[in-house]
Structure 1
Amino acid sequence: MSANPGAYRATSRALALAALLLAASQPARAAEPARSGPPLWELGGMAFGVSQQAYPGSDEHLNRALALPYFIYRGKLLRADRETLGLRALKTERYELDLGVAGSFGGGSDEIKARQGMEKLGTLVELGPRLKVRLGEAAGGRWRLDLPVRGVFDLNDGARHRGLSFEPELLFERQAHAGWRYGMGLSAIVADRRLGEHFYGVRADQVSPWRSAYAARSGLVAWRLSLSASHSLSRDWRLFGFARLDSVAGAANEASPLVRRSSGASVGLGLSYTWMRSEASAHD
């Protein structure tokens, strides 16, 4: 056990957040000397800012800014890149099975007024298998269907298991001219009862004049529309950003007193720098 548990937790959260950014927003590379593929590994750093809806259905936002190191490795089986963390178990021309990661920042009741007197919503990390189905090319880009099933863990509570999520997503990606890359995704977020309770449940001891008791259910959490863009400023510097719109219309827990509005947006902007890269190429 660490002699300084607080430092250990802070380091764990930072490393996990770096992994989340790699999973969500690694931009396209600028032109490099001729090689058979991208570098096998890269080492660098990134700085980013995020304004995130506290949770789907919230009327408040959490604002965060961080600077973190990152590491990318593109092995045939072991992977740490913008879409995979850990293991790629299967890859064919049409299908790919890997271990994916996602997540979100958390906030306390001092930041989320609707949850005053309730437990903190911790920084959540989602980890689990994902099947990717390549659908082909159309409209100048590539289409794909992602089918991830993930366990959700709370980094602010000793990586406590908070439940399971399933987020089928239709993705479109396009590599444009002058180092630009664009992406769009449409997904439905589905959760088990335990995860629904974490976000929307109100116990009897948490009831207040403005918040009635509520037992959350499993089912649809939100619909999500995601947009992303990145631009290679040079061989080493890259700019990236995203925008996301969540809607709880028709969701299983739309009647929860913690749902204050039907839709909300999140945005982020960041800059990354590649300090070192391998001479060897990855052979995807």
Structure 2
Amino acid sequence: MNRSPAYVLGLCLAALPVTAMAQEQTTLPKFEAGLGGGGGWLPDYPAAGQNHLRGLVVPYVIYRGEILRSDDQGVRGRFYNSDSIGLDLSFSGAFPSSSDNNRARQGMPDLDWQGEVGPSFRLTLWRDQEIPQRLNLELPVRAVFSTDLSSVHYRGLTASPELAYERLGLGRTGSRLRVGLGPVFATGRLMDYFYRVDPEYARPDRPAYDAQAGYLGTKLQFSYRMPLTERLSVVAGGRIESFHGAANDDSPLFRNEWNTSVALGFSWSLYRSEARVNSTSSPFD
């Protein structure tokens, strides 16, 4: 998803010290816990006309199980994984956004906490084991839910195929560079959540509008994680989003054909279990 709080959360996950020393280790702690944080200058929602500074600090847990894993790639149920193909059940989320702070949405309901779950298919198109680096085609499809902490609402589906380049050890042992490019598509219910204007919220400069399913936009994003110590990592990231030709570019809430995000994050591992697991033969996993 393209929501800015989710991007900050993604930066926090990207900073987790999962493979920071994996190239030297044969085993890793099975369980880790610590603190992750991040912040940045981020758009309020896809095609928003305003950016705001946002930040958060959250506890995190890393669990390196055979099937269930939580790490810098999110919370995943690994159904199948090889050097060339992967199939995960992946989870993600986003934090709320207040409409009072956005001129286009003033007087409308806030955007609530959001969660996502669904399968993600990975096909490795090219790999170089010596550097190491790889090029993936990733195909996640997720159901989106929102909650105000008193009720939960289904908001539709997203599909976001992405061509992703990853490289380890660039500039420093244990570092990880990721660059991804791809479109985002969404069902009508999710488009309504961002772009629909019900008649009771219409005004002269914001007519009523009913959103439609289809193309949401295209994102180019990157992140670079660098371990400072065995327990402390930092990450920097950015995202450029184009909404030219989007299905709902005539919505009164559609304010900008370009969005730009920049963010910084960190992770600090406070606890590492004595129980160990063998590190995988693939340095990316």
TM-score when normalising by structure 2: 0.86
Which stretch has the larger CA shift, 147-156 or 32-41? 32-41
1:160 matched residue in structure 2:
153
Q: Is the 8 A contact 2:113 2:147 kept in 1?
A: yes
Q: Which amino acid aligns with 1:130?
A: S
* Superposition deviation, residue 34 in structure 1: 5.3
| Pair 1:115 & 2:89 matched | no
Q: Is the 8 A contact 2:8 2:39 kept in 1?
A: no
1:147 matched residue in structure 2:
139
* Superposition deviation, residue 112 in structure 1: 1.2
Relative to structure 1, is the Cα distance of residues 95 and 140 closer, same or farther in structure 2, using a 3 angstrom cutoff? closer
Counterparts in 2 of 1:193-212, with a 5 A limit?
A: 193-212=188-207
1:218 matched residue in structure 2:
213
Q: Runs of 4 or more off by more than 6 Å in structure 1? A: 16-19
* Superposition deviation, residue 105 in structure 1: 3.1
Relative to structure 1, is the Cα distance of residues 282 and 41 closer, same or farther in structure 2, using a 3 angstrom cutoff? farther
Residues of 1 paired with 2:9 and 2:48: CA distance? 26
Relative to structure 1, is the Cα distance of residues 40 and 191 closer, same or farther in structure 2, using a 3 angstrom cutoff? same
Give the alignment partner of residue 83 of structure 1, picking from 70, 73, 85.
73
Q: What is the aligned-residue identity percentage?
A: 34
Relative to structure 1, is the Cα distance of residues 116 and 89 closer, same or farther in structure 2, using a 3 angstrom cutoff? same
Relative to structure 1, is the Cα distance of residues 240 and 72 closer, same or farther in structure 2, using a 3 angstrom cutoff? same
1:52 matched residue in structure 2:
42
Give the alignment partner of residue 253 of structure 1, picking from 248, 255, 259.
248
2:172 matched residue in structure 1:
178
Counterparts in 2 of 1:92-131, with a 5 A limit?
A: 92-131=82-121
* Superposition deviation, residue 106 in structure 1: 2.7
Cα deviation code 1:154-208 (max 9, x no counterpart): 1325332111111111100111132332110002110000001110111211111
Q: Is the 8 A contact 2:214 2:247 kept in 1?
A: yes
SS of the aligned residue for 2:100 comes to coil
Relative to structure 1, is the Cα distance of residues 128 and 32 closer, same or farther in structure 2, using a 3 angstrom cutoff? closer
Aligned residues: 270
Residues of 2 paired with 1:23 and 1:99: CA distance? 17
SS of the aligned residue for 1:197 comes to helix
Which stretch has the larger CA shift, 169-178 or 273-282? 273-282
Residues of 2 paired with 1:112 and 1:182: CA distance? 33
SS of the aligned residue for 2:209 comes to coil
Q: Is the 8 A contact 1:148 1:167 kept in 2?
A: yes
TM-score when normalising by structure 1: 0.86
| Pair 1:227 & 2:222 matched | yes
Cα deviation code 1:59-113 (max 9, x no counterpart): 1123222222111111111111122414111113321111112333331221111
Q: Is the 8 A contact 1:18 1:68 kept in 2?
A: no
Relative to structure 1, is the Cα distance of residues 32 and 89 closer, same or farther in structure 2, using a 3 angstrom cutoff? closer
Relative to structure 1, is the Cα distance of residues 79 and 22 closer, same or farther in structure 2, using a 3 angstrom cutoff? farther
> CA RMSD for the aligned pairs?
2.5
Residues of 1 paired with 2:194 and 2:14: CA distance? 22
Q: Is the 8 A contact 1:56 1:247 kept in 2?
A: no
**Unaligned 5+ residue runs, structure 1?**
1-13
Q: Is the 8 A contact 1:248 1:262 kept in 2?
A: yes
**Unaligned 5+ residue runs, structure 2?**
281-285
| Pair 1:281 & 2:274 matched | no
Cα deviation code 1:202-247 (max 9, x no counterpart): 1211111111121100001111010101111111111112111111
